[in-house]
């Protein structure tokens, strides 16, 4: 059973702090293993990728078969049922439309001194997108990673996806095709991250790596950061549902389980102002666990990390939500819009009883690659800007240099950076002599 908390209890603050600070990531120490894998890939290149793929994914590759051929992709996607094909196409269309609105504009203007200032946005040259393929295969992750990159204008997009025993979900290949990705490597794990970061004879290095993965993938991304950019270090999935009693307990139970079934370390929390309703939702979760396909995994998640929190009012609920800073936040209350305005720390917000979080995972439009582990306090979900960079622009005229140059020289002198100041003063002197 999950933990039941009540803000009226004397020990609530201690119990809530324990809930916030509970460690949900893997206890497995993977750093040494990952560092060894990265070292092998850097030193041995393709040979290391072949050996590691045989070791972890149990099938043999050659440099010529690292990537799926066009014929293999075409043959695989022909097997995708029409209903799934149409659903994936609809998802891609909606995700692309949403992200196209995020494209920023360049700017140039002349300020009061006469200086011309501005900025210019440009895409990163290449991006490597990691797609899980172990315990579960997620074509939706292909769309969520590749489409924002394509919208940003990234010219070279590659996907790495593990293919255990040589098997691949055809939907992953179709999603890549719909997203504009041409190169798909059947390589996974930390070795895929290392290959994309440092390159091998066959695989070209990229500028940025994005996408979710297990502890080995996450650790590898952390280790190669600086050599390449990364999106984030994602931890186990999580959902917070804020609901009043005027909701269907079974619906909310399914929403809580939608994240619990991802991972034994996932966390599902319900906040409500009605204790009886909280118990009803918990009972509905237990009933659904009797028949859920992933009941063993979801059951462990719910038992070890689940929580039902009873609050005095919805202002308390908003305050607790901001402390939790959840990856996914569902708000199912009478005035959900007003409460959503008060919830400022969340990766994604789903407003109203007819907006289950699962819509966001697949078809809503916003990205489902979101900050976890309370990092929504300071970071955002994956978006077009993650694949772009801003270059600032400055253009001085003689008049503007006369207006602001002396102050620059003064500040340079205060920092004892003589050449800085002289580079400005030399120009000012030339202007005065003219």
Instruction: State the pLDDT at residue 433.
Output: 86
Q: Do domains 3-23+235-364 and 31-104+123-230 have the same CATH topology?
A: yes
- Give residue-wise pLDDT tens across range 75-127: 999 989 999 999 999 999 999 999 999 999 999 999 999 999 999 999 999 99
Match domain 3-23+235-364 to its CATH number in 3.40.50.1980, 3.40.50.2300, 2.40.10.340, 3.90.245.10.
3.40.50.1980
| Residue among 261, 327, 330, 357 flagged as catalytic | 327
3-state secondary structure the chain: CCEEEECCCCCHHHHHHHHHHCCCCCCCCCHHHHHHHHHHHHHHCHHHHHHHHHHHHCCCCCHHHCECCHHHHHHHHCCCCHHHHHHHHHHHHHHHHHHHCCCCCCEEEECCCCCEEEEEEEECCEEEEECCECCCECHHHHHHHHHHHHHHCCCEEEEECCCHHHCCCHHHHHHHHHHCCCEEECCCHHHHHHHHHHCCCCCCCCCEEECCCCHHHHHHHHHHECCEEECCCCCCCEEEEEECCCCCHHHHHHHHHHHHCCCCCCEEEEEECCHHHHHHHHHHHHHHHCCCCCHHHHHHHHHHHCEEEECCCHHHHHHHHHHHCCCEEEEECCCHHHHHHHCCCCCEEEECCCCCHHHHHHCCCCCCCCCCCCHHHCCCCCCHHHHEEEEEEEECCHHHHHHHHHHHHHHHHHCCCHHHHHHHHHHHHHHHHC
For domain 31-104+123-230, the question of CATH label 1.10.1660.10 is answered with no
- 139-167 pLDDT per residue, tens: 999 999 999 999 999 999 999 999 999 99
User: Taking 90 as the threshold, does the pLDDT of residue 27 lie above it?
Assistant: no
Annotated catalytic residue 155 = no
pTM of the model: 0.93
User: Is 327 marked active-site?
Assistant: yes
pLDDT at 263: 87
Domain boundaries in the chain?
A: 3-23+235-364, 31-104+123-230, 396-433
User: Of 99, 238, 262, 328, which residue is the catalytic one?
Assistant: 328
In this predicted structure, what is the pLDDT of residue 136? 61
Q: Which fold has domain 396-433?
A: 1.20.5
């Amino acid at each position: 059973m999950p933990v039941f908390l009540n803000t009226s209890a004397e020990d609530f603050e201690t119990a809530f702090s324990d809930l916030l600070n509970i460690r949900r990531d893997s206890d497995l120490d993977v750093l040494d293993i990952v560092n060894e894998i990265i070292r092998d890939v850097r030193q041995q290149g393709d040979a290391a990728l072949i050996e590691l793929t045989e070791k972890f994914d149990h099938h043999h590759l050659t440099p010529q078969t690292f990537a799926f051929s066009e014929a293999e992709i075409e043959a695989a996607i022909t097997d995708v049922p029409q209903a799934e094909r149409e659903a994936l196409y609809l998802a891609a269309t909606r995700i692309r439309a949403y992200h196209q609105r995020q494209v920023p504009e360049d700017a140039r203007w002349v300020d009061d001194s006469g200086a011309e200032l501005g900025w210019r946005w440009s895409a990163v040259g290449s991006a490597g997108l990691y797609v899980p393929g172990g315990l579960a295969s997620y074509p939706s992750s292909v769309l969520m990673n590749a489409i924002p990159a394509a919208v940003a204008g990234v010219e070279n997009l590659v996907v790495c996806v593990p293919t255990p025993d040589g098997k691949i979900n055809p939907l992953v290949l179709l999603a890549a095709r719909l997203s504009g990705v041409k190169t798909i490597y059947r390589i996974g794990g930390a070795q895929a991250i290392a290959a994309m970061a440092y390159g091998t004879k066959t695989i070209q290095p990229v500028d940025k790596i994005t996408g979710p993965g297990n502890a080995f993938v996450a650790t590898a991304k952390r280790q190669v950061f600086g050599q390449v950019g990364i999106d984030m270090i994602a931890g186990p999935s999580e959902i917070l549902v804020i609901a009043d009693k005027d909701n269907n307990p079974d619906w909310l139970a399914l929403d809580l389980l939608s994240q619990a079934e991802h991972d034994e370390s996932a966390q599902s929390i319900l906040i409500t102002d009605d204790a009886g309703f909280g118990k009803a939702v918990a009972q509905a979760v237990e009933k659904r666990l009797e028949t859920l396909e992933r009941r063993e995994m979801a059951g462990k998640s719910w038992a070890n990390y689940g929580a039902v929190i009873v609050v005095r009012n919805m202002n308390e609920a908003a305050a607790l939500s901001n402390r939790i800073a959840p990856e996914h936040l569902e708000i199912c209350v009478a005035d959900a819009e007003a409460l959503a305005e008060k919830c400022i720390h969340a990766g994604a917000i789903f407003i109203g009883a007819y907006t289950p979080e699962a819509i966001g995972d697949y078809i809503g439009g916003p990205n489902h690659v979101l900050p976890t582990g309370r990092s929504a306090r300071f970071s955002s979900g994956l978006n077009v800007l993650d694949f772009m960079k801003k270059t600032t622009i400055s253009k001085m005229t003689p008049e503007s240099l006369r207006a602001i140059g002396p102050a620059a020289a003064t500040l340079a002198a205060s920092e004892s950076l003589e050449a800085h100041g002289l580079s400005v003063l030399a120009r000012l002197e030339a202007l005065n002599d003219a």
